[in-house]
C-alpha cells in the first residue's frame, strides 16, 4: 500500500481535525445535528434556484432563507446509512435489514430530488441493492502483542502504510488490515489496534456455522483464530485479551455497483442554478470514486463553477489499475 497517501495514524486525528480547526479559524461556522427536511425553489430564467431550506436541529424546526448570491453544496447519498454496531458479546442489532429501511436524510433528499429533476441521477440504483453492497467491518483491540507480531510476520510487508492479510478459505471473505502502531495518539504502549472487513458477511463461516451478520465480536475473533490455525492455548489467550467490535454496513460498497451513465448526478445539475453536488456518488470522468483525490477534485470543480472562479486544468489520464485495487482493499 506504499502508493497511497497515508499518515500512518488515525485519519480523524491526523487529517479531519486539523482541517476542521483551520477552517474554523477562517470563519467557517460548523453546525452539527442539522437535518434538511425540505428544499424550496423558485424559478429564475427558466431554471430553479434554491431559495429556502426547511431545517431541524436538536428538536427545533426553522427555515433558512437564501439570498440571490448564496450557494448550496450538498452530498447526495451515504455509504454508512443503515449501519449498526455490535459488541464483543453481541452481534449488530438489526431491527430490519430490508433494503428500503434505514435511509438517512442524504438519501431521502436525493430520492425526492431525483423524482423532480431528471439530471439528478437515479439513487435507487445505489441504495436498494443490499445483498450486493453490504460489507461488515470490525476493529480488534488486543493486549496480546505476540499475536500482532505473528500477523506482521505473516504479511512479510515492510510498507510504512501497513499491510493486508487475505484469508483465502474464509466463506465470509475476510481481510485483516495491520496499520502502523500506534494508531491513536493516546494509545497505550501495551495495546495494539487493528481492523478488518468481510466481503460476504451473509455467508456461513467455516468455524462459526452462521452468517457473520449475526455473530458477536468474540465469535468473529474465533473465526479469525481458526483460519490462522493457532495452537488452542494460544488462541484462547488471544481471545481472552482482545475485544472485537463488529459493524455491519448495508451500503458500504454501493458506490461500486453496476450502473448506467445517467445514474450518477452531475457536479452542477443544469436544472438548479445555485446548487452543486459533491461526494462519491457524483459523476466525474477518469477517476476512481474510492480515492480521496476524487472527492477533492469534485469539490474544487463545484466551488469553481458556482463562484465563477478561474478554471484549473483537468487531469485526463487513466488511474493506475494497481492503485485502484489497493485503494479498494484499503477501504
- Tens-place pLDDT, residues 272-319: 899 999 988 998 877 777 777 788 888 999 999 998 887 665 555 555
- Residue 14: pLDDT band (50, 70, 90) is confident
The DSSP secondary-structure symbol of 310 reads: P
Mean pLDDT of 133-146: 95
**Which are the contacts of 108, defined by CB distance < 8 A and separation ≥ 6?**
none
- How far is CA 60 from each of CA 38, 52, 77, 233, 246, rounded to the nearest angstrom? 14, 17, 24, 56, 34
Mean pLDDT of 7-15: 78
Mean pLDDT of 39-63: 88
Give the pLDDT confidence of 237-258 residue by residue, as tens digits: 999 999 999 999 999 999 999 9
Q: Which residues of 286-318 are buried (b: 16+ CB within 10 A; e: fewer)?
A: ebbbbbeebbebbbebbebebeeeeeeeeeeee
Residue with cell 451500503: 251
Residue 210 has pLDDT above 80, yes or no: yes
Give the pLDDT confidence of 65-114 residue by residue, as tens digits: 999 889 999 998 888 888 899 999 999 987 555 545 567 777 888 888 87
Lowest mean pLDDT across 65-79, 113-127, 172-186:
113-127
This prediction has a pTM of 0.83
Amino acid at each position: 500500500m506504499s502508493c497511497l497517501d497515508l499518515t500512518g495514524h488515525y485519519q480523524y486525528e491526523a487529517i479531519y481535525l486539523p482541517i476542521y480547526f483551520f477552517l474554523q479559524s477562517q470563519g467557517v461556522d460548523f453546525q452539527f445535528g442539522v437535518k434538511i427536511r425540505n428544499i424550496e425553489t423558485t424559478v429564475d430564467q427558466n431554471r430553479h434556484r434554491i431559495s429556502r431550506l426547511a431545517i431541524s436541529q436538536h428538536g427545533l424546526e426553522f427555515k433558512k432563507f437564501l439570498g440571490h448570491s448564496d450557494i448550496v453544496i450538498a452530498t447526495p447519498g451515504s455509504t454508512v446509512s443503515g449501519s449498526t454496531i455490535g459488541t464483543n458479546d453481541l452481534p449488530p442489532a438489526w431491527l430490519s435489514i430490508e433494503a428500503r429501511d434505514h435511509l438517512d436524510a442524504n438519501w431521502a433528499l436525493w430520492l425526492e430530488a431525483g423524482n423532480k429533476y431528471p439530471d439528478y441521477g437515479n439513487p435507487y440504483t445505489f441504495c436498494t441493492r443490499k445483498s450486493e453492497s453490504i460489507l461488515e467491518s470490525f476493529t480488534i483491540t488486543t493486549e496480546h502483542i505476540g499475536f500482532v507480531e505473528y500477523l506482521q510476520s505473516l504479511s512479510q510487508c515492510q510498507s510504512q502504510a501497513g499491510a493486508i492479510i487475505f484469508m483465502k478459505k474464509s466463506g465470509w471473505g475476510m481481510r485483516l488490515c495491520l496499520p502502523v502502531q500506534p494508531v491513536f495518539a493516546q494509545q497505550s504502549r501495551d495495546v495494539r489496534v487493528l481492523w478488518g472487513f468481510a466481503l460476504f458477511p451473509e455467508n456461513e463461516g467455516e468455524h462459526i456455522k452462521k452468517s457473520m451478520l449475526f455473530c458477536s465480536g468474540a465469535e468473529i475473533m474465533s473465526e479469525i483464530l481458526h483460519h490462522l490455525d493457532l495452537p488452542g492455548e494460544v488462541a484462547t489467550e488471544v481471545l481472552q485479551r482482545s475485544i472485537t467490535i463488529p459493524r455491519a454496513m448495508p451500503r458500504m460498497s454501493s458506490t461500486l455497483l453496476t450502473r448506467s451513465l445517467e445514474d450518477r448526478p452531475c457536479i452542477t445539475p443544469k436544472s438548479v442554478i445555485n446548487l452543486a453536488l459533491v461526494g462519491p456518488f457524483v459523476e466525474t470522468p477518469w477517476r476512481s470514486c474510492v480515492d480521496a483525490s476524487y472527492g477533492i477534485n469534485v469539490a474544487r470543480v463545484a466551488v469553481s463553477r458556482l463562484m465563477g472562479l478561474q478554471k484549473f486544468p483537468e487531469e485526463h489520464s487513466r488511474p493506475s489499475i494497481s492503485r485502484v485495487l489497493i485503494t479498494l482493499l484499503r477501504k
